[in-house]
Chain A
């Protein structure tokens, strides 16, 4: 019902659709809140499987994926998206608490479009999202 509502809004406003996948409720809240400020349509998923399901169904413009998620990690979801012909155009931002070089590399290996380390600034997130979506 929530998604249906979104679809309607999207159809009307042609707003960019963003899926936020994070198992941490507070973070989802933060990201959603931030993106709403930027006038994006935001959908949420709290685990990898749901995220993948929603991506393939809804085909959002951007997916913000947390790495440490139950079910599937953000990298795995990213890989699925990028290796799917139909979905590979979808932009992916990997969002993880691991601020290490290895994670960055893993993100790029998974062909993520961008990498944001936690803790992140909402403004930074917003500008990154706007940049990525603005390229199109």
Chain B
């Protein structure tokens, strides 16, 4: 508030100064105006003086002219007297009017006689000559007569100004002419266009002329005696009388009169214009001031707001400034950000690459198949891989608890406490590892043997780790379970020793005997005996080598099987043939439940080798002789053959190793029985290569039975009718196929897939997309089965096809596999169809179902042909469905089935 007042005061100062200044100016103007007025007044007075003097001068001329003229005329007329005035009258009549009429300056022209009587008066109307009416005052007359001819006497009689000139006739005073001036005209003439009051006064203060409309008694009455004194005492000048009234005066030199010409100027009038202007200006200034004050008031009122607005504006400016700075900064920042972002992107890129590399490295390190950990130079762990963790867990024998490796201060401690613990040589190794901490350069390796639950070997090794610049980074520990390597090592050395033993033994005999034969004199009997041994051992060696090579080839997967369709019964007979002549104390009995050919897909020579090996073993290990029986049967698509003897049997503990290489049951009772120990190993390899199994059942001391199973080959089917009219039919060489299958399916892709899969399995396939085509084709081709889609392209659907098939005798028993997108429906059960594939199905599912149906069909046909009893058939079916049959009894048409278990 104080500040506002201060502002107001400060604002008023120039205003006041302005007012004062303007006032001064006006004062100056006023003074100047007055000065000018005074000058003009003086000029006026002088002008008036000139005018009045001119008037008087004219009047003097007039009067002198008239006087002269009159005088002359009087002289001509001779002694003219006033009484002779007729003559004068005549003269006068001639000239006077012209004087009177010109300018109407004269009120009257009169003629005074020598006595001073007024004898002739001319007014503007007429010239009258009259008897002396009036006698001029003595003073006046005396004044006139004092003058000589040609002179003029000017006087004021109190009312009028008189101008007289004496007339002389012959130097004798004759009279005088008197002009009475017209006062009004004189004043008018004098005043001219002057607006000021004009006065002509006597020194007594008596007015001679005054332009005042209502003059007072005299000048002193109107003004004051002091003013009159001033006028009288000064030669010329001004005097101020009263407020605003200025008198300008000048003495009029006219004869001996002391007359004064005075003008009165009203100062108020003089300064009126200036004052008006001043007043207007003052009004304007005051108004301006008022407006300014008002504005100031307003400003004062709105000061806060203004101030606030100002502050706001300033703040705004500041803000704008800041803003621009900010924007600049922002721009800079943005540029920097862009740079940073670019760097960031590069960094991210690098980081990603780094992480990828790291991941790759981690993955590599994780997949090295051994525990890997790293310690820094102080022995603190800094890294470990997955395997290490796993091994650690293994070493701890605690499956659930995986401690984070970082918790362990030192790998060595960790190793000693957890990994080394339990090893037979734990103490030694832990000491050695402890020492490693002080010896960073040392390459360390130790093997740990664990004999707890399982016998295991582990190898721990440690090498110093250096960066590429040679700086020591720490130490890398590798921990590896080498049990398998140890085992392999062991196996290898065992194999080598076995082989060398097996080779050296016959070689020893051969060399020894041959040496004896060469160096000693021997009896012929002994020589022969020795040569026989040599031969025998050489044969043994040959056999061993060939067996060994065989098994080596088989094990390395290089066995080449020449698979053909073979009758297994035939092979058994051939094997029996090999031994029939050599062994007489054994009787070989061959039983085949099928009684006729059983086809398998196999390598003839290899299978013969298997059967002869088994037979040879049976013979060898039943040294007392006895019956050796071979039983062959078909079961669930598999052929099973058993070779039984009543020989030594196999001890319990030996059975697991029976099929291992070079394994031979060592017992007193079979010491003399020769063999390479490879026979059963070879059998196993061959059977497995044929997708079969081999095992042995034995009772020690009573005999053994060796079983093999092999998959049966599908019966050969006849070639489909090549004259079929249907174009979609694809024909394969049916002789090589397992059977012909009709695929009824409208999905092309599924058809392709099914066909591919089934062809791989050795089937011939036909494919149609409608039920109608399917039924037509069924009439022409002998199909093993139909794979039938339910939703078909044509008029008939799958169920219609099934119904039609069931109605016809020829096709009533044709197996049908339903392939549908729907779950196995009630309808399929009602139609007696149990083979159901829900789309989408895997190729294996299709193959499995097809094989299953095939087997069932073969068995059914066998049964129908009487080759398998009904009972067996039932039993097989039940077994396939997971039901164990204990007993089957039949009485006429009733079949009693006793199931295994409580059922």
Q: Using a CB–CB distance below 8 Å, which chain A residues touch chain B? A: 23-27, 29-31, 33-34, 37, 46-47, 68, 70-71, 96-100, 118-123
B72 to chain A: closest CB distance in Å?
208
B804 to chain A: closest CB distance in Å?
73
Instruction: Other than A46-B671, A98-B501, A118-B508, give 4 A-B pairs with Cβ distance below 8 A.
Output: A26-B505, A26-B537, A33-B526, A68-B501
| Docked-complex contact B508 and A47, CB < 8 angstroms | no
Bound CA–CA A118/B243 (angstroms): 178
B497 contacts A by Cβ under 8 Å = yes
Bound CA–CA A120/B514 (angstroms): 12
What residues of chain B lie closer than 8 Å to A120, measured between beta carbons? 508, 511-512
| Docked-complex contact B668 and A26, CB < 8 angstroms | no
| Docked-complex contact A26 and B497, CB < 8 angstroms | no
A72 to chain B: closest CB distance in Å?
11
| Docked-complex contact A47 and B671, CB < 8 angstroms | yes
| Docked-complex contact B672 and A30, CB < 8 angstroms | no
What residues of chain B lie closer than 8 Å to A26, measured between beta carbons? 505-506, 509, 513, 533, 536-537
B contact residues, range: 20 to 34
Could you tell me the dominant secondary structure of chain B's interface residues? helix
A106 to chain B: closest CB distance in Å?
12
| Docked-complex contact B508 and A30, CB < 8 angstroms | yes
Of the candidates B500, B504, B507, B668, the one whose C-beta lies within 8 Å of that of A47 is B668
| Docked-complex contact A119 and B530, CB < 8 angstroms | no
Contact with A along B516-529 (1 / 0, CB 8 A): 10011000001000
17 contacts between A and B (CB under 8 A): A25-B672, A27-B505, A27-B509, A30-B512, A68-B501, A70-B667, A97-B504, A98-B497, A99-B504, A100-B497, A118-B504, A119-B507, A119-B512, A120-B511, A122-B512, A122-B516, A123-B515
A-B Cβ contacts below 8 A, count? 78
What residues of chain A lie closer than 8 Å to B138, measured between beta carbons? none
What residues of chain B lie closer than 8 Å to A97, measured between beta carbons? 500-505, 508
What residues of chain A lie closer than 8 Å to B511, measured between beta carbons? 119-121
Looking across the interface, which residue of chain A has its beta carbon closest to that of B497?
A98
B827 contacts A by Cβ under 8 Å = no
Looking across the interface, which residue of chain A has its beta carbon closest to that of B498?
A68
What residues of chain A lie closer than 8 Å to B515, measured between beta carbons? 121-123
Q: Using a CB–CB distance below 8 Å, which chain B residues touch chain A? A: 497, 500-513, 515-516, 519-520, 526, 530, 533, 536-537, 666-668, 671-672
Of the candidates B508, B533, B536, the one whose C-beta lies within 8 Å of that of A119 is B508
B26 to chain A: closest CB distance in Å?
148
Bound CA–CA A121/B510 (angstroms): 10
| Docked-complex contact B500 and A123, CB < 8 angstroms | no
Bound CA–CA A105/B509 (angstroms): 25
| Docked-complex contact B671 and A34, CB < 8 angstroms | no
Bound CA–CA A3/B483 (angstroms): 49
| Docked-complex contact A33 and B671, CB < 8 angstroms | no
Bound CA–CA A17/B110 (angstroms): 233
A53 to chain B: closest CB distance in Å?
12
Looking across the interface, which residue of chain A has its beta carbon closest to that of B520?
A37
Bound CA–CA A37/B521 (angstroms): 10
Bound CA–CA A24/B513 (angstroms): 14
B499 to chain A: closest CB distance in Å?
10
Q: Which of A30, A34, A98, A120 has the most CB of B within 10 A?
A: A30
Q: Which of A23, A37, A97 has the most CB of B within 10 A?
A: A97
B529 to chain A: closest CB distance in Å?
8
B484 to chain A: closest CB distance in Å?
22
A96 to chain B: closest CB distance in Å?
8
| Docked-complex contact A118 and B667, CB < 8 angstroms | no
Looking across the interface, which residue of chain B has its beta carbon closest to that of A24?
B505
| Docked-complex contact A33 and B530, CB < 8 angstroms | yes
The answer to whether residues A27 and B516 also contact, given A97-B500, A98-B497 and a CB cut-off of 8 A, is no
B507 to chain A: closest CB distance in Å?
5
| Docked-complex contact A33 and B508, CB < 8 angstroms | no
| Docked-complex contact A98 and B512, CB < 8 angstroms | no
Bound CA–CA A52/B368 (angstroms): 52
Bound CA–CA A96/B506 (angstroms): 12
B664 to chain A: closest CB distance in Å?
9
| Docked-complex contact A118 and B505, CB < 8 angstroms | yes
Q: Which of A25, A31, A99, A119 has the most CB of B within 10 A?
A: A119
A116 to chain B: closest CB distance in Å?
10
Looking across the interface, which residue of chain B has its beta carbon closest to that of A95?
B508
* CB-based closest 8 A-B pairs: A70-B666, A97-B504, A119-B508, A26-B509, A97-B501, A30-B512, A118-B508, A118-B504
| Docked-complex contact B671 and A70, CB < 8 angstroms | yes
Q: Which of B507, B533, B672 has the most CB of A within 10 A?
A: B533
Looking across the interface, which residue of chain A has its beta carbon closest to that of B503?
A97
